[in-house]
């Protein structure tokens, strides 16, 4: 078996991961201490422990199976850099799911998020990559399988204990920070434009054809949950297209699927829509990888050059 090569992260990608990790860590701490997060204090701790252990174990197994060195080995910096995606996915699951005093829904979501990175891969640019947003996959799977035991955390928890000024300042700060990261580091601004434009489009279509309130449909865009989803989840550079036109299509498709789910009276549409679009991209990439490679063009036969006739020499041979 040929060893599988893992593409190295670019400096910009690594910087983006670090800033995402710092942002979501700070938001988690502030959320539990000041803002009004209603999950147990132990929830993010258990989520992180689960993500770290599972990531290291699965990386060792995958490295052994693919006959390559584990990516976390080498130095403490390598270990920290390797665990950054797991850190982000764990805190996202802990922040966005609400299981009351139960911890096992969060543990299950984090397990699906981390395991999905190794089990659900498709070939992109010559390398096998995971194409499902890890935390979103864990959240949607948990919501589908355990709908009576867990739900999405209430949106008001992000500003439950704040005053009128902070009610505006917190979303604005998240929007500015996320836009800077995506604009300068991830290159996902076309995706954001496609997603936001598509969200407005689906709201207009719902109002025109299904008599939904346009103001209510657009009001969701002003909430912290929408801003977090827009800047920190749907823009995951590891699971979204890199070319601008494909990014726009990805964002637009997610918005239209969301509108379809709302019309169908399906709750938690943001998360389900992203999973559905990722699944469609996953199937497309797999179907493309299974197509036989085009045979190289056979060069046209080259006719041999005619032999030259040498005229007899006028000089007598001695």
Distance (Å, rounded) from C-alpha 17 to C-alpha 20?
5
What pLDDT sits at residue 103?
93
Q: Are strands 127-130 and 121-124 parallel, antiparallel or unpaired?
A: antiparallel
Give the sign of the dihedral formed by CA 85, CA 90, CA 93, CA 95: negative
Pull the structure tokens for residue 211: 């008599």
Q: 313 falls in which pLDDT band (50, 70, 90)?
A: very low
Check residue 315 and give its pLDDT: 37
Pairing of strands 127-130, 151-152: unpaired
Q: What is this structure's pTM?
A: 0.85
| pLDDT of 62 | 92
The mean pLDDT of 62-68, rounded to a whole number, is 91
How many of the other CB atoms lie within 10 Å of CB of 43? 27
pLDDT in tens, 144-198: 999 888 999 888 888 888 877 888 888 888 899 888 889 888 999 999 999 999 9
Tens of pLDDT, residues 186-195: 999 999 999 9
Q: Beta partners for 124?
A: 127
Q: Give the mean pLDDT of the chain.
A: 87
Please give the pLDDT value at position 257. Answer: 97
Residue, of 128 and 304, whose pLDDT is higher: 128
Residue 61 has pLDDT above 50, yes or no: yes
Instruction: Please write the tens of the pLDDT for every residue from 73-98.
Output: 989 999 999 999 999 999 999 999 99
pLDDT at 317 over 80: no
Over residues 21-47, mean pLDDT = 92
Query: How many helical (H) and strand (E) elements, i.e. helices and strands, does the chain have?
Result: 11, 4
Annotated domain spans of the chain: 11-289
Query: 3-12, 43-52, 125-134, 201-210 — which is least confidently predicted?
Result: 3-12
pLDDT band at residue 291, thresholds of 50, 70 and 90?
A: confident
94 and 28 in contact (C-beta within 8 Å)? yes
Whether 5 has a pLDDT exceeding 60, the answer reads: no
Q: What is the mean pLDDT of residues 233-250?
A: 93
Q: Kindly report the backbone phi and psi dihedral angles of residue 241, in degrees, each rounded to the nearest multiple of 5, phi listed first.
A: -65, 155
Averaged pLDDT, 6-20 = 81
Spatial separation of the C-alpha atoms in residues 248 and 243, rounded to whole Å: 9
Rounded Cα–Cα distance for residues 169 and 162 (Å): 10
DSSP 169-226: HHHHHHHHHHHHHIIIII--HHHHHHHHHHHHHHHHHHHHHH---HHHHHHGGGSHHH
pLDDT band at 22 (very low <50, low <70, confident <90, very high): very high
Within 10 Å of residue 298's Cβ, how many Cβ atoms?
Answer: 6
Question: 3-class SS at 61?
Answer: helix
User: Mean pLDDT across the stretch 262-279?
Assistant: 95
Closest CA to 131 of 292, 277, 244, 269: 277
Identify the CA nearest to 223 among candidates 269, 272, 274, 167: 167
Q: What is the predicted pLDDT for the residue at 7?
A: 59
């Amino acid at each position: 078996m040929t060893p599988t090569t893992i593409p190295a992260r670019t400096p910009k990608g690594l910087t983006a991961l670090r800033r995402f990790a710092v942002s979501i860590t700070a938001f988690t701490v502030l959320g539990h201490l000041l803002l009004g997060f209603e999950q147990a204090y132990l929830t993010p701790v258990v989520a992180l422990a689960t993500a770290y252990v599972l990531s290291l174990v699965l990386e060792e197994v995958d490295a052994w199976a693919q006959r390559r060195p584990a990516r976390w080995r080498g130095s403490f910096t390598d270990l920290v850099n390797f665990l950054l995606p797991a850190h982000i996915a764990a805190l996202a699951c802990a922040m966005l799911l609400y299981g009351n005093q139960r911890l096992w829904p969060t543990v299950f979501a984090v397990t699906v998020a981390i395991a999905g990175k190794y089990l659900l891969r498709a070939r992109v640019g010559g390398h096998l990559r995971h194409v499902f947003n890890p935390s979103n996959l864990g959240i949607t799977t948990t919501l589908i399988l355990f709908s009576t035991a867990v739900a999405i955390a209430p949106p008001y928890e992000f500003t439950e204990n704040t005053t009128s000024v902070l009610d505006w300042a917190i979303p604005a700060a998240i929007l500015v920070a996320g836009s800077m990261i995506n604009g300068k580091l991830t290159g996902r601004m076309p995706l954001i434009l496609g997603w936001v434009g598509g969200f407005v489009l689906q709201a207009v279509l719902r109002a025109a054809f299904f008599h939904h309130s346009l103001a209510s449909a657009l009001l969701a865009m002003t909430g912290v949950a929408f801003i977090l989803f827009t800047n920190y989840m749907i823009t995951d550079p590891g699971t979204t297209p890199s070319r601008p036109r494909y990014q726009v299509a990805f964002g637009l498709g997610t918005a239209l699927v969301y509108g379809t789910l709302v019309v169908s009276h399906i709750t938690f549409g943001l998360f389900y829509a992203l999973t559905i679009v990722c699944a469609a991209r996953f199937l497309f990439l797999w179907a493309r990888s299974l197509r036989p490679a085009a045979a190289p063009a056979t060069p046209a036969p080259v006719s041999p050059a005619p032999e030259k006739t040498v005229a007899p020499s006028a000089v007598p041979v001695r």
